[in-house]
Structure 1
Amino acid sequence: MDRTDQSLIALRRILRATEIYGRKLAGAAGLTAVQFRVLQIVAERGNSTATEIARRMRVSQATVTSLVDKLVKHGMVNREKSQTDRRQINILITERGRETISHAPDALQQRYVRKFEALEDWEQAQLVASLERVAAMLDADDIDASPVLDTGDLRSAS
C-alpha cells in the first residue's frame, strides 16, 4: 500500500471514530457532541453565560443560543437572570444535566486531549503542523471550526 492510501485510510479512521462516538453519545445522552460540550462547560462551574461559552468554543453567540435552546428543551440546563446584573442571563446545569454527564460515554475529545497533552512538546508541534497542513490540502484551512470533535455542522447542531 502506498503512502497516499495510508493517509486516506488514517483520515477515514478519524472521521469514523467521530461518527461512531457521535452515535454512542446520541444513544446514551440524546445529545450531539457539540451540545454535550456546552453541557460540560456549564457543568464545570455550575453556571455560565452564552458569551463565556461562545468564547471557550470559538463559535458565535447565536450558535451558542441555539445549542442552549436545545439543552433547555431537553431539561439539561435552565436560564436565569443574574442577581448582580439584570442584563446578564446565566445558564445553569440541572440535575438531569449532571446525570447525563455522569452516564455519557467517555468523550472522544477528552481522550484525545489526555493523550495529546502527554506527548513531548516537539511531538505536539509536529502533529499540529501536520494537521494544519492536511486542513490546507483539503482547502479547509479557512473554515470556521471550534475545538470540538464532531462531524456535524455547528449551525444546525440538533
Structure 2
Amino acid sequence: MEKHEELLLALRKVIRATDLYSKQLNKLAGLTAPQLLILREVAAASEGITASAVAQNITLSPATVSNVIDRLEHKQLIRRERSTQDRRRVVLWLTAAGAERMHAAPRPLQEDFIERFQDLEDWEQSQLLAAMQRIAAMMNAERLDAAEVLDVGSYVETQSD
C-alpha cells in the first residue's frame, strides 16, 4: 500500500470512529454532538449565556448555533429568557430535561483523545498539530465551520431535526 493510501485509510478510520460515536450519542441521549456541546456550554454558565457567547466559546458560526438552539428549545432542553438588566439581550438556560439528557450522554469522544494527546511529548503534539493543519489545508478545509466536539454528519442530522 502506498503512503497516500495509508494516510487516506487512517483518515477514513477517524471519520468512522466519529461517526460511530455520533450514532451512539444519538441512540443513548437523543442528541447530536453539536447539541451536546451547546448544552454543556449553557450548563456551565451559572448566570445564563447568550447565543453569541456560546458560538464564540465553541468556535461555531452564530447561524449554526442559532439553528441548534432552536432545536434544543423545541425539545425543551433549554429555554430563552430576556435579560432583566438589558431587555435587548436574550439569555439561555438549561432546563431540568436538558440536564437529564446531558448527563445521560456518553463521555465526549474528544475527552479520551485529549487525555492521550496530552500524554505525548510537546514536540510530538506540535508535530501532529502541524500535520493535521497541513492535511486540512490540502483538503481545502481550513475555513470550514468546525466544533471542538468530533462529529461526522451533524450537518445532515441537524438539518432534518
Match of 2:67 in 1: 66
Match of 1:12 in 2: 12
1:154, CA displacement in angstroms?
Answer: 4.6
Cα–Cα, structure 1 residues 96 and 8, in superposed 2: closer, same or farther, change >3 Å? same
Match of 1:139 in 2: 140
| Structure 1 SS opposite 2:80 | strand
Unaligned 5+ residue runs, structure 1? none
Match of 2:111 in 1: 110
Q: Please say if residues 63 and 154 of structure 1, whose CA atoms lie closer than 8 Å, have aligned partners that are also in contact.
A: no
The Cα offsets for residues 74-128 of structure 1, whole Å up to 9 and x where unpaired, read as: 1111111112221111100011111112111111122222322333222211111
Q: CA RMSD in A?
A: 1.9
| Structure 2 SS opposite 1:31 | coil
Amino acid at match of 2:103: S
**Alpha-carbon distance between aligned partners in 2 of 1:36 and 1:153, rounded to the nearest angstrom:** 11
Q: Please say if residues 108 and 149 of structure 2, whose CA atoms lie closer than 8 Å, have aligned partners that are also in contact.
A: no
The Cα offsets for residues 31-58 of structure 1, whole Å up to 9 and x where unpaired, read as: 1111111011111124311011010122
1:141, CA displacement in angstroms?
Answer: 2.4
Residues 1-158 of structure 1 aligned to structure 2 (within 5 Å) = 1-46=1-46, 47-152=48-153, 154=155, 157=158, 158=161
| Structure 1 SS opposite 2:79 | strand
**Aligned residue pairs, count:** 158
Q: Please say if residues 63 and 155 of structure 1, whose CA atoms lie closer than 8 Å, have aligned partners that are also in contact.
A: no
| Structure 2 SS opposite 1:48 | coil
State TM-score, norm by structure 1.
0.89
- Aligned-pair identity in percent equals 39
Unaligned 5+ residue runs, structure 2? none
State TM-score, norm by structure 2.
0.88
